[in-house]
A = this chain, B = another copy of it.
Amino acid sequence: MINGGKEMEFRRARNAEQKDIRRQQIINMTARLLEEIGYEKITFTEIGKCLSFTRINLYHYFANKNDIFLELLLQDIEEMVQDAENTFSEPVKNCKVFIGAWTEMMLRHQRMMALFSITNTVFLKGATHEVHEAYRIRLHELFQRLERAVRAALPYFSRTAVSLFVEFENSYAMTLYPASMEYKKAQRIEILEKVGFGTGHFSPQFSKYLEIILMGLAEKDKNGA
């Protein structure tokens, strides 16, 4: 009896582990296909073909492709948060140094920015309730960690200011990145460098923005509002 119980437990554990491995294979393949053929052309049939899975078998792991993308995005955000925790473990006295380091960090996570920028407009429209809910809970945890990293770097800002900083910098990145040279090159969108406002690199504009935001937040803190 006892041995039989252990055996079953072991099998269950192995099955759970097996399932996680499969899920990760699907996520990785989706990431690869994203680069090769783009979001629009990705289908369960295509993912299955590349993994020698049947389409039906894929449904054991994910209900639709948007659920896969939300999971991939969460993994990308987690990497960015870990990067922030490593980069900003102690107070940064010079604001310009912080701004430069933060901008460089964001540029190390371009796929995260690209995916994040279409979460509300694309992924959430097709995701299941369960994955949508799990995504929002996890996103909240990850951004709490990100706020902690910023508080460690900028201890002279209030909690509220740091929380607003994280939201504002992230929101701006979600619009600026898809308009940048970097994104357009990666997505093979024609770059009209000098037409209208022109198309520029991500960093100069993003750094300028962070400076304004931090000045505004410092003012707000000073006024005690």
**Is the Cβ of A192 less than 8 Å from the Cβ of B120?**
no
**Is the Cβ of A212 less than 8 Å from the Cβ of B208?**
no
8 contacts between A and B (CB under 8 A): A118-B122, A120-B184, A120-B189, A124-B190, A136-B195, A136-B196, A212-B217, A214-B216
Selected from B172, B190, B212, the residue in CB contact (under 8 A) with A220 is: B212
- Is A34 at the interface (CB under 8 A from chain B)? no
CA distance A129 to B179 in the complex (A): 16
A-to-B contact residues, CB < 8 Å: 38, 114, 117-118, 120-122, 124-125, 129, 132-133, 136-140, 143, 164, 168, 170-172, 174-176, 178-179, 183-184, 187, 189-190, 192, 195-197, 208-209, 211-220
Taking the nearest CB of chain B, how far is it from the CB of A119, in angstroms? 8
CA distance A67 to B136 in the complex (A): 34
User: Residues of B contacting A183 with CB < 8 Å?
Assistant: 120
Given A168-B212, A212-B216, 7 additional A-B pairs, CB 8 A: A136-B192, A140-B197, A171-B175, A174-B174, A211-B216, A211-B220, A218-B219
User: Residues of B contacting A170 with CB < 8 Å?
Assistant: 175
**Is the Cβ of B219 less than 8 Å from the Cβ of A139?**
no
User: Closest B-chain residue to A163, C-beta based?
Assistant: B197
**Is the Cβ of B179 less than 8 Å from the Cβ of A209?**
no
User: Closest B-chain residue to A168, C-beta based?
Assistant: B209
User: Closest B-chain residue to A135, C-beta based?
Assistant: B196
**Given that A175-B174, A178-B120, A209-B168 are known contacts, is A189 also in contact with B125, CB under 8 Å in the complex?**
yes
Selected from B38, B121, B211, the residue in CB contact (under 8 A) with A178 is: B121
CA distance A143 to B178 in the complex (A): 19
Taking the nearest CB of chain B, how far is it from the CB of A51, in angstroms? 25
Taking the nearest CB of chain B, how far is it from the CB of A167, in angstroms? 8
Taking the nearest CB of chain B, how far is it from the CB of A218, in angstroms? 8
**Is the Cβ of A219 less than 8 Å from the Cβ of B208?**
no
